[in-house]
Amino acid sequence: MSTVYISIGSNLEREKNVAQSIRLLNEHFDHLHCSTIYETVPVGFEGGLFYNLVVRFETELSPEDVVNALKSIETTCGRIHNQKKFSNRSLDLDLLLYDDLVINQGKVNIPRQEILDYAFVLEPLAEIAPDLIHPQIGKSYAELWQAFDQSDQAQRPLTGLLERMLFDQ
């Protein structure tokens, strides 16, 4: 079994889409562990606030098959895949880490660069994997988060929201 980390983001019908994505991930993968949901300001465009979180799970699928499963879940949740990069999203699922592999080919680019660039990825990753070491940088995600310039990326944790969303639906 391999340990995988993915990011989830939504700013369109965000409660519905995040809850549905978690239920669908739970049908495909084992031992889901979710970070807190963070409400975040869009980066790179004007739009509604996002819900973002990171999820860890175990799988026997290859990295390519995990990416394909994530794309299928996005489609089920109404994602249109030919949208421009910085735009509103019903659902965005990105493979961040797959064990300690480093892969840059086709649809699989891990570890994902967004880990180092965006608070909405790094903070929830540091929350659920503080001692895990970035396979290229050699520092823990807690260390990376502590050194991250948080001044220009507004977000706030919404403790307990995921549990309420999943329980209410």
Residues acting as catalytic residues:
79, 89, 92, 94
Closest CA to 4 of 93, 136, 120: 93
CB 168 within 8 A of CB 25: no
What is the rounded radius of gyration, in angstroms, for the C-alpha atoms of the chain? 15
Q: How far apart are CA 141 and CA 122, in angstroms?
A: 7
Q: What is the Cβ-side half-sphere exposure of residue 116, based on CA atoms within 13 angstroms?
A: 12
Q: How far apart are CA 153 and CA 103, in angstroms?
A: 28
